Amino acid sequence: MEKLESLIKTYYDFPKKGIAFKDLLGIIQDSEIFRELILRMSLNHVIKNSEAIISIEARGFIFGSAISLQARKPMIVARKPGKLPGEVFQENYHLEYGSNSLSIEKGALEKFSSYAIVDDLLATGGTVDCVTRLINKSGKKIAGLLTVVELIELNGRSKFDFPVESVLSI
């Protein structure tokens, strides 16, 4: 996974001053590394212990849907405001560089008993905490969180009482 790290580019002061933005899109421009990464993430116990995956808009969709295909687990999505039709659960959150809200279709969340949350990167944990609150509203179990990258200094994992797994801690 040494090559994986080399494919992640850091942009300083983006999208705001003081943020070191990790651009993970280089990973999907290398199909062999992307494939290796997805095979590895699909075998993670967080995925194995879940009935379905919840992936977070937008970069979480890239990794979540590939894992869903490989691990043969259904996937539902947590989306930004105004994107989902029908009845939704909605919660607000703060992330490393702003605030927003996420929604999940009520009907989709009712279908499965336990969920693995998948995203590209864990920073402060605000985004995943929002998804956690959404899942808790439905009373369903959280098998854990799986991300490609974890920004270790921000200690986002301390917010959670479920397993937190990442391929790269930087």
Residues 6+ apart with CB under 8 A from 77: 54, 55, 56, 57, 61, 64, 84, 104, 108
For residues 115 and 145, give the distance between their C-alpha atoms in angstroms, rounded to a whole number. 9
Question: DSSP states of 49-117 as a string?
Answer: T-SEEEEETTHHHHHHHHHHHHHT--EEEEB-TT---SSEEEEEEEETTEEEEEEEEHHHHHS-SEEEE
With contacts defined by CB under 6 A, name the span among 33-41, 43-51, 78-86, 124-132 that binds ligand AMP. 124-132
Taking CB under 6 A as the criterion, the residue among 47, 50, 89, 96 binding ligand AMP is: 96
Query: Is residue 120 at the binding interface for ligand AMP, with CB under 6 A as the rule?
Result: yes
Least spacing, CB of residue 108 vs ligand AMP, in Å: 20
H-helix or E-strand containing 133? helix 126-138
Q: Which of 153, 154, 157 is nearest to 144 (CA)?
A: 157
Q: Which tokens sit at 120?
A: 């590209």
Taking CB under 6 A as the criterion, the residue among 52, 77, 103, 119 binding ligand AMP is: 119
Taking CB under 6 A as the criterion, the residue among 19, 28, 33, 170 binding ligand AMP is: 19
Site string for ligand AMP, 145-164 (x = CB under 6 A): -----------x--------
Taking CB under 6 A as the criterion, the residue among 42, 55, 103, 127 binding ligand AMP is: 127
Query: Is residue 78 at the binding interface for ligand AMP, with CB under 6 A as the rule?
Result: no
Least spacing, CB of residue 82 vs ligand AMP, in Å: 18
Site string for ligand AMP, 36-65 (x = CB under 6 A): --------------------x--x------
For residues 23 and 43, give the distance between their C-alpha atoms in angstroms, rounded to a whole number. 24
Query: Is residue 121 at the binding interface for ligand AMP, with CB under 6 A as the rule?
Result: yes
Q: Which tokens sit at 50?
A: 């879940």
Residue ranges binding ligand AMP (CB under 6 A): 19-22, 56, 59, 95-96, 119-127, 156
